[in-house]
Amino acid sequence: MSGFWQALQSELRDVPVVDPHSHVRPARPQADNLADLVLYHHVWVELVSSGMPAKATSRVGLPHEVADPGMDGLDRVRAALPFLPNIRNTTCAWFLRIILQDLYGVPRGELTRQNLEEVSCRVERRASDPAWQSELLEKRCRVVRTLTVSHVEQPPCSPIVAKGIEGVPIALEGWKQGPYETLRDMEQGFRRELTCGEDYAAAMYALGRARSQREDLHFVGLWILPFIRYVAPREAEITEVLRRVKARQPINHEQMSAFACFGLRHFLAGMRQGRLRIIQLIVGADVLPPHRSITQWAPEFPGTLARIAGEFEDFHFNCSSACDANIQDLAILAKHVPNVSVAGYWWHVLYPYYIRKSIETRLDIVPANKIVAFFSDAYHAEWIYPKLNLVKRIFGEVLRDRVERGLYTPDLALGLVRQVFHENPKRIYGVK
C-alpha cells in the first residue's frame, strides 16, 4: 500500500488542473499588496464577526471585493492585526497562514507588528515580478487554465486565464436588494424600460443571443434562488409582476418564480442562436446587508433544475452549491439527468468536513466523467494555492481509504485524479 500511496501523492502533486471558476483579473491575477491577501472577503467577514469594526479596514464598511476601501493597504492590515488571533481556529485563517508561509516565507505564517512592513514589501516585490504569475499558477499550483468571471474588460494576459461571464437578470429578490431596486438595475443594464412581459422577453432573448455569440466565453454563470418553481407563465402574468414591482407593491414567491422562469427560458432560447451551451449554475447562498452571506435551500430546487435541463437538453449544466443540504440533491440530479454535472465546493462548503462529504457522495453516485473536483472562486491567484492543496489532500485520503477497503483498485483511483481535476473540466468547458 505504501507504493500506491506514493504513486497517488505524486499524481495529485503533478496533475494539471483546470480551475473553471475564479474572479482573478485577466491581466493581473496576482495580489497587488498584503491587504489583498489578508482581507480577502472570507477572512474579512470572520474578523468582523469576531469583533473587528467593519470600518476599521474600510471607510465604507465593506470588503474590498465589493467597494473601494478608501484606505492605505498597510494601514488596513495593521488595523486587522489585533483581531487575527480570534479566528486562528478557522479554515480561512489556516489558508492565510499557508499563503504567507509557503509563498512568502513567513515563519508559521504569523503576521506581527514587527514583521508587517517586511512581509508587505515581499508581497509587493512579487506582485511586480513578471515571472511571479507563472511561478505561482503553473509551478506551485499546476493550474493550466483558470476561467475568470472578472468584470475587468482586458484580454487574458497569458494562456492561463480564460473567461466566463455571470450576471443573468432573472431574480427579483436577493443579493441585498428588494424587487424595486433590482428591477431598476435590470432596466439600467438593458438600457430600456420594462413595461410589459414582451419587453422582458425581448431583452432576455437578445442578451442570451449576444452572450452565446461571444467567442471569448467558455460559460455563462447563472444564480437561481432555490425556492423557484418551474412554471410557464404567460406574458400577461409578467406584465402584472412588473406593474406591482414598479408600484412598490409586494410580490410573492409564486410571482418571483414566474418572473425567473419566464426570463430564463427566453435567455436560453436566445443562447440557441449562438455556439455556447455551457451553463455554470451556482446555488445555495444569499447575501444580506451589509455583506452577510447565509446558506439557502428549498425542496423545490431539484425538480426545478431537472425540468429546466429536460427542456434544454442541448445545454450542459455544471452545478455547485454553497449549502450542505444540496450535496445529495446535486449528486442525484447528475446521476439521473444526462446534461447535469457537479463541480467544486462553493463558499460555505469549502471546509474539510463538507469537502469530504461532497467527494464521498459524488464518487458513490455520479458517473466519473461528470465530476469536476475543484474550482477556486479566488479573487487573487495566491488564494488558489491553499484551497487546491486542501482539496487534493482530502481527495487523496478518500481514494486511499477506498483502495484499502477494496472498493477501488489502485489503477482506478490513480485514473480518477487526472479525470476529475483536468480531463472533465477541460472537456465540459471547451478548454484547449
Residue pLDDT, tens place only, 16-54: 999 999 999 998 999 999 999 999 999 999 999 999 999
pLDDT at 156: 66
Whether 1 shows a pLDDT value over 70: the answer reads: no
Rg (C-alpha) for the chain, rounded Å, is 22
Distance of CA 35 to the CA centre of its chain: 21
- Helix (H) or strand (E) run with residue 162 in it: strand 161-165
Q: Which of 107, 129, 151 is the last residue of a domain?
A: 129
Whether residue 388 is contained in a domain is answered as yes
| Amino acid (1-letter code) at residue 223 | W
Task: Identify whether residues 114 and 244 lie together within a single domain.
Answer: no
Q: How does pLDDT run across 334-390, given as a tens digit for each residue?
A: 999 999 999 999 989 999 999 999 999 999 999 999 999 999 999 999 999 999 999
Helix 91-98, helix 41-50: angle, nearest 10: 130
Task: Identify whether residues 112 and 195 lie together within a single domain.
Answer: no
Helix (H, G, I), strand (E, B) or coil at 278: strand
Which residue in this structure is represented by grid cell 503533478?
A: 14
* Cβ–Cβ under 8 Å, residues 283 and 226: yes
Task: Identify whether residues 200 and 73 lie together within a single domain.
Answer: no
| Amino acid (1-letter code) at residue 414 | L
CB under 8 Å to 76, separation ≥6 — which residues?
35, 39, 57, 58, 69
Task: Identify whether residues 217 and 73 lie together within a single domain.
Answer: no
380: left (phi over 0), alpha (psi -120 to 50) or beta: beta
Whether residue 22 is contained in a domain is answered as no
Q: How many domains does the chain have?
A: 2
Whether residue 202 is contained in a domain is answered as yes
Whether 71 shows a pLDDT value over 70: the answer reads: yes
Helix (H, G, I), strand (E, B) or coil at 330: helix
Task: Identify whether residues 44 and 162 lie together within a single domain.
Answer: no
pLDDT at 223: 87
Whether 3 shows a pLDDT value over 70: the answer reads: yes
Task: Identify whether residues 174 and 108 lie together within a single domain.
Answer: no
Whether residue 23 is contained in a domain is answered as no
**Mean pLDDT for the stretch of residues 140-159:** 86
Q: Which of 129, 159, 181 is the last residue of a domain?
A: 129
**Mean pLDDT for the stretch of residues 85-90:** 98
Alpha helices in 213-271 (DSSP H): 235-246, 253-271
Whether 225 shows a pLDDT value over 90: the answer reads: no
The confidence band for 228, taking pLDDT boundaries of 50, 70 and 90, is confident
pLDDT at 157: 73
For residues 93 and 57, give the distance between their C-alpha atoms in angstroms, rounded to a whole number: 17
Residue 90: count other Cβ atoms within 10 Å of its Cβ.
15
**Mean pLDDT for the stretch of residues 164-175:** 88
Strands (E), 41-160: 143-148
Q: What percent of the chain has pLDDT over 90?
A: 90
For residues 121 and 182, give the distance between their C-alpha atoms in angstroms, rounded to a whole number: 42
Q: What share of the chain is helix, strand, coil (3-state, %, to 5)?
A: 55, 10, 35
The confidence band for 138, taking pLDDT boundaries of 50, 70 and 90, is very high
CATH assignment at residue 265: 3.20.20.140
Whether residue 14 is contained in a domain is answered as no
Task: Identify whether residues 368 and 292 lie together within a single domain.
Answer: yes
Whether residue 2 is contained in a domain is answered as no
The confidence band for 152, taking pLDDT boundaries of 50, 70 and 90, is confident
| Amino acid (1-letter code) at residue 337 | V
Closest CA to 80 of 118, 113, 123: 113
Task: Identify whether residues 124 and 164 lie together within a single domain.
Answer: no
**Mean pLDDT for the stretch of residues 88-93:** 98
Whether residue 150 is contained in a domain is answered as yes
Helix (H, G, I), strand (E, B) or coil at 364: helix
pTM for this prediction: 0.96
pLDDT at 280: 98
What does pLDDT average to over the chain? 95
Whether 86 shows a pLDDT value over 90: the answer reads: yes
For residues 38 and 61, give the distance between their C-alpha atoms in angstroms, rounded to a whole number: 16
> What is the extent of the structural domain holding 345?
143-428
Task: Identify whether residues 96 and 235 lie together within a single domain.
Answer: no
Helix (H, G, I), strand (E, B) or coil at 134: helix
Task: Identify whether residues 307 and 398 lie together within a single domain.
Answer: yes
The confidence band for 227, taking pLDDT boundaries of 50, 70 and 90, is confident
The confidence band for 212, taking pLDDT boundaries of 50, 70 and 90, is very high
Q: Which of 129, 162, 181 is the last residue of a domain?
A: 129
Instruction: Classify residue 130 as exposed, middle or buried by CB count within 10 Å of its CB (0-12, 13-18, 19+).
Output: exposed
Q: What percent of the chain has pLDDT over 70?
A: 98
Residue 386: count other Cβ atoms within 10 Å of its Cβ.
25
Whether 175 shows a pLDDT value over 70: the answer reads: no
Whether residue 26 is contained in a domain is answered as no
For residues 119 and 133, give the distance between their C-alpha atoms in angstroms, rounded to a whole number: 18
Task: Identify whether residues 110 and 179 lie together within a single domain.
Answer: no
Task: Identify whether residues 192 and 118 lie together within a single domain.
Answer: no
For residues 61 and 56, give the distance between their C-alpha atoms in angstroms, rounded to a whole number: 8
Q: How does pLDDT run across 309-327, given as a tens digit for each residue?
A: 999 999 999 999 999 999 9
